Amino acid sequence: MNLHTSFEITETGVAVLKLDNKDASLNLLGTSFLKSFNETLTEVSTKPHVKAMVICSAKKNGFIAGADLNELAKINTAEDAQKAARIGQMIFSRIADFKIPTIAAINGHCMGGGTEMILACDFRLAAKEKVGIALPEIRLGVFPGWGGTQRLPRLISLRNALDMILTGKEYNALKAYRCGLVDKVVPDDILNEYAVQFAEEIIRTKGVKYIAARRKKARGVVELLTDKNFIGRFIMLTIAKQQILKKTYGNYPAPLLAIKAMLRGLSKPLEDGLDIEARLFGEAAATIEHKNLLHIFHLHERPKKQTGVDSRVDLIKPQNIGVLGAGVMGGAIVQLLAYKDFPVRMKDIAGPMVIKGLKHAESLFDDLVKQRRLTPLEKQRKMEKISGTLSYDGFQRTQLVIEAVAEKMPIKKQVLKEVEACMQENAVYASNTSALSISELQAEAKHPERICGMHFFNPVHKMPLVEVIRGANTNDKTVAIIFDLSKKLNKTPIVVKDSPGFLVNRLLGVYLNEACLLAQEGYDFQWIDFIVKKFGMPMGPFRLIDEVGIDIVEEVGRILGEAFHDRLKTSTLPANIRQINLLGKKGKKGFYLYRNNRRKAANPYMLKLLPGSRQENNQQVIQRMMYLMVNEAARCLEEQIISTPQDVDTGMVFGAGFPPFRGGLCKWADNVGLKSIVETLRDFKDLFGKRFTPVEYLINRKTFY
């Protein structure tokens, strides 16, 4: 028996190999695990009476969780990455070359290298309920390098293989069966017994020839063996490449390298294809984009080990939650809570508003039903968790109230006063304000220590970030409860000290303000949007202003302008546009015109107002917007608005869509070099004004990290 893998042989001659990583709660494929697995393969192969092998997991929580990312992070050169790929390929090729039939019994999640392991087996059986199979490597800036790009398209259609490899999408058991990735779907409880019986049947009924024929197909040149001819494949892969280039402007090398591996490797025998795959995998693993995406992965995982506070506190898990306001945010927050099975009571001031909020929540559930992520019955059960009201009836039962009423301080103070009169003694109150001061809200509260901000981003169901805002008097317990709830809602929380714009809106505020100043200087606003998108942001600044709402941008700009008037030069553009009643997307007109929620064209009115046609100094234009954000992030760290550069990067990537392949704002700044950023900021200060004065934090440090 080896450390992480063991096997038993049944009387009928089936070796049942069990995967059980002793160093981790999941089966992670690190060096030690692979070594152990390889040794076990050798032992099994030397047993003369073994006639078939079943590979299964001893872990209840899944089959294989993928490669050990800590090991992946330590690989720095293309050569080392290529070597690592070759080792994994070699071990899995041993399974494929086994003299006896091999069967994978997949009991749950099977990720990355796990999927590549099962691809090397002759047969794959999947537990019906728990199985999810995926090749998520692309999300980390690499691609499957242990045979995935070569074995998968030999097994299933190229279309499905591309879908899995280029998106990292997870296939459940049924979907995997339908596309031919698994041979049988089996009730979860009997998977391992079934796998042994299946193996016995193979031994009994299928001869050596049958297995050899299956393997020939799995190893050959694709067009000689299947209906996938070279031309068809070439066209499909070329289209996939064009689509990726259009979507990513070439900012992500991994999908392009994966396509290259398939384009070249599938025309050759498997062994040559594996060589090509390993070499290109090495190239992908040595890119800065891969390192940056790995960094983002760690940022995403980081809150799992955090509580949001330094002290130890006893958490309460809210059993009932109240939500004030049934508008855009209220309706979406209520849906999210109900989705996670919290009973929730939603209050507004008028019946039609409550109905609108309920309908909004229902439409979000309907989308999940359409996507088959919920059954109609499950949707109904979750909708039943929500009740609407015009009074505070039922709020006596809530341990937590989330407020999402209109963004006006007097209204926020009034509802707090009303609800405090009927809230439970220890209940916590969280405001979803975008920019109003939590400390000011606390000033007149009965229990200021139990008040904080819980800033969701719009659209709530899509945006992963929650800023937990700590007011001057918020206690640790309140922060920890909201931090914990955010995690339960599958959000990524960061703790931010109460201050104008908190973190994300403060940084976005200076960025959008600079974009407006540029447009007023005569730069073509559509061109600015284009180059910012090319930089990797999900949309340009003017599209973002339309998306958020020109009224809101103006309001946040006003708050920031007042707070930082000594250094900011506030653009007059949002206020001017507001005066003529342009609202952005929600009013169908802003910098662009919208129909059915889709952008149609630039707004002719805006083209008249901003006739500038300058399309020059690309780099300088980008730097003016981005370096101002870097400077502001450094200022936030200096003022301890947030504690670490990780908080900035989490906020900017998960709350503002800063390009993940750049690793977040601070990581990107480190890659550019803080020294060079400081020098450029000094030049900009002379050219464009004191808002570019670099802060001490930036001047004194070599790197953020």
Ligand X SMILES: NC(=O)c1ccc[n+]([C@@H]2O[C@H](COP(=O)([O-])OP(=O)(O)OC[C@H]3O[C@@H](n4cnc5c(N)ncnc54)[C@H](O)[C@@H]3O)[C@@H](O)[C@H]2O)c1
- Residues serving a catalytic function are 455
Supply the minimum distance, in Å, between the C-beta of residue 316 and ligand X: 24
Among the residue ranges 98-106, 140-148, 456-464, 515-523, the one whose residues contact ligand X (CB under 6 A): 456-464
Supply the minimum distance, in Å, between the C-beta of residue 179 and ligand X: 39
Q: Is 584 among the residues that bind ligand X (CB under 6 A)?
A: no
φ and ψ at residue 124, rounded to 5 degrees: -130, 125
Among the residue ranges 163-171, 238-246, 302-310, 455-463, the one whose residues contact ligand X (CB under 6 A): 455-463
Site for ligand X, residues 504 to 523, rule: CB under 6 A: none
Measured from the CB atom, the residue of 126 and 404 that comes closer to ligand X is: 404
Supply the minimum distance, in Å, between the C-beta of residue 471 and ligand X: 15
Q: Which residue minimizes CB distance to ligand X?
A: 327
The size of the interface with ligand X (CB under 6 A), counted in residues, is 23
Among residues 674, 633, 689, 661, the alpha carbon closest in space to that of 534 is found at: 661
Measured from the CB atom, the residue of 102 and 437 that comes closer to ligand X is: 437
Among the residue ranges 364-372, 401-409, 604-612, 649-657, the one whose residues contact ligand X (CB under 6 A): 401-409
Supply the minimum distance, in Å, between the C-beta of residue 351 and ligand X: 11
Among the residue ranges 281-289, 345-353, 466-474, 640-648, the one whose residues contact ligand X (CB under 6 A): 345-353
C-alpha 532/C-alpha 625 separation (Å) is 9
Q: Is 62 among the residues that bind ligand X (CB under 6 A)?
A: no
Q: Is 348 among the residues that bind ligand X (CB under 6 A)?
A: yes
Among residues 74, 54, 59, 73, the alpha carbon closest in space to that of 23 is found at: 59
C-alpha 242/C-alpha 623 separation (Å) is 28
C-alpha 671/C-alpha 321 separation (Å) is 44
C-alpha 94/C-alpha 88 separation (Å) is 10
Q: Is 390 among the residues that bind ligand X (CB under 6 A)?
A: no
Site for ligand X, residues 311 to 340, rule: CB under 6 A: 324-330
Measured from the CB atom, the residue of 219 and 455 that comes closer to ligand X is: 455
Taking the CA atoms of the chain, what radius of gyration do you get in angstroms? 28
Measured from the CB atom, the residue of 130 and 455 that comes closer to ligand X is: 455
- Asked if residues 422 and 396 have their Cβ atoms less than 8 Å apart, the reply is yes
Q: Count other C-beta atoms under 10 Å from residue 377's C-beta.
A: 9
| CA dihedral (109, 111, 113, 118) positive or negative | positive
DSSP string, 338-389: HHTT--EEEE-SSHHHHHHHHHHHHHHHHHHHHTTSS-HHHHHHHHTTEEEE
C-alpha 348/C-alpha 354 separation (Å) is 6
Residue with tokens 């949002």: 574
Measured from the CB atom, the residue of 195 and 353 that comes closer to ligand X is: 353
Out of 407, 420, 440, 449, name the contact with ligand X by CB under 6 A.
407
Out of 17, 106, 405, 626, name the contact with ligand X by CB under 6 A.
405
C-alpha 115/C-alpha 64 separation (Å) is 8
Measured from the CB atom, the residue of 359 and 381 that comes closer to ligand X is: 359
- Asked if residues 110 and 170 have their Cβ atoms less than 8 Å apart, the reply is no
Among the residue ranges 140-148, 193-201, 343-351, 446-454, the one whose residues contact ligand X (CB under 6 A): 343-351
DSSP 8-state code for residue 523: B
C-alpha 678/C-alpha 681 separation (Å) is 5
Measured from the CB atom, the residue of 160 and 505 that comes closer to ligand X is: 505
- Looking at 199-354, which runs of residues are DSSP E strands? 321-324, 344-347
φ and ψ at residue 133, rounded to 5 degrees: -115, 130
Among the residue ranges 154-162, 198-206, 430-438, 445-453, the one whose residues contact ligand X (CB under 6 A): 430-438
What is the H or E stretch that residue 66 is in?
A: strand 66-67
Q: Is 458 among the residues that bind ligand X (CB under 6 A)?
A: yes
Out of 349, 383, 575, 583, name the contact with ligand X by CB under 6 A.
349
Q: Is 347 among the residues that bind ligand X (CB under 6 A)?
A: yes
Q: Is 411 among the residues that bind ligand X (CB under 6 A)?
A: yes
Supply the minimum distance, in Å, between the C-beta of residue 321 and ligand X: 15
DSSP string, 82-121: HHHHHHHHHHHHHHHT-SS-EEEEE-SEEETHHHHHHHTS
Supply the minimum distance, in Å, between the C-beta of residue 77 and ligand X: 44
Among residues 515, 513, 562, 563, the alpha carbon closest in space to that of 540 is found at: 515
Supply the minimum distance, in Å, between the C-beta of residue 403 and ligand X: 8
Among the residue ranges 359-367, 426-434, 575-583, 654-662, the one whose residues contact ligand X (CB under 6 A): 426-434
Supply the minimum distance, in Å, between the C-beta of residue 129 and ligand X: 37
Supply the minimum distance, in Å, between the C-beta of residue 505 and ligand X: 9
Q: What is the dihedral of CA 194, 200, 201, 202, to 10 degrees?
A: 110
C-alpha 524/C-alpha 527 separation (Å) is 5
Supply the minimum distance, in Å, between the C-beta of residue 546 and ligand X: 12
Q: Is 432 among the residues that bind ligand X (CB under 6 A)?
A: yes
Q: Is 463 among the residues that bind ligand X (CB under 6 A)?
A: no
Measured from the CB atom, the residue of 535 and 654 that comes closer to ligand X is: 654
Q: Is 503 among the residues that bind ligand X (CB under 6 A)?
A: no
Q: Count other C-beta atoms under 10 Å from residue 362's C-beta.
A: 17
Q: Is 192 among the residues that bind ligand X (CB under 6 A)?
A: no
Length of the chain: 705
Q: Residues interacting with ligand X, by CB under 6 A?
A: 324-330, 347-349, 353, 404-407, 411, 415, 432-434, 456-458
